[in-house]
Amino acid sequence: MYFVQGSGVVAEQLKTAISKNDFKYYNDQTALLEVAQLPNSGTTKLAAIAIVKPSKPLVNLVAKYSDSRTSSILDTLVTWGRVQVIAAGLCAPQQIDVADVMQKLALGTIWESDLGIVASVKSGLPGFLVSPAASRFLDDAGYTRANVGGLTLYKGSLNASSGKSVPVLLSLEGNRIFAAASGKESYAETIIAGVNRAGEKSQ
């Protein structure tokens, strides 16, 4: 079942593709490798996935809809960090009710639900350059370090449109930055702990 919300050129193109069943398998191996890093078991089932190839227009779009701290971090990642791909997933402890999620999005109460977002940000630079520089940047940006379950995490927050402060956790692994956000910090910790770190250390 497919849903297309909105109007305009992109929406019409998507409707046309659906009506003609004009689909093909997504075969970007770099992006698919990042998706494989995302947790997808137990209480961190992936309900939706987004793959982004960063660009300056994307940074400008994020800046329009987020606080200055978040847009500044993304701008630094894109311009300095040579980010190749970002894979993000919507996580839930159980099957989600799409209608309920859409209603909460409209009301600005989405962060009050048992949902979380996880992302893998992969740089084209080697890990021995990325991790130390990202660590310094996060320290300077006011993130605090904490050891959670043997992982070194950087704790911060973002300001949601509803005015709620949403916990954000980041983990540095080689040339990747993993991030998790949830209205409940404990769930953000569960999500980021579930990231698949088995294959990234050799890069």
Candidate from 98-102, 134-138, 148-152 with smallest mean pLDDT? 98-102
Predicted pLDDT of residue 203: 45
User: What percentage of the chain exceeds 70 in pLDDT?
Assistant: 85
3-state secondary structure 40-107: CCCCCEEEEEEEECCCHHHHHHHHHHCCHHHHHHHHHHHHCCCEEEEEEEEEECCCCCHHHHHHHHHH
- Pairing type for strands 116-123 and 176-182 reads antiparallel
Q: Which domains does the chain have, with CATH numbers?
A: 27-193 (3.40.1000)
137 against 172, higher pLDDT:
172
Count other Cβ atoms within 10 Å, centred on residue 97.
Answer: 12
- Residue 111's pLDDT band, with cuts at 50, 70 and 90, is confident
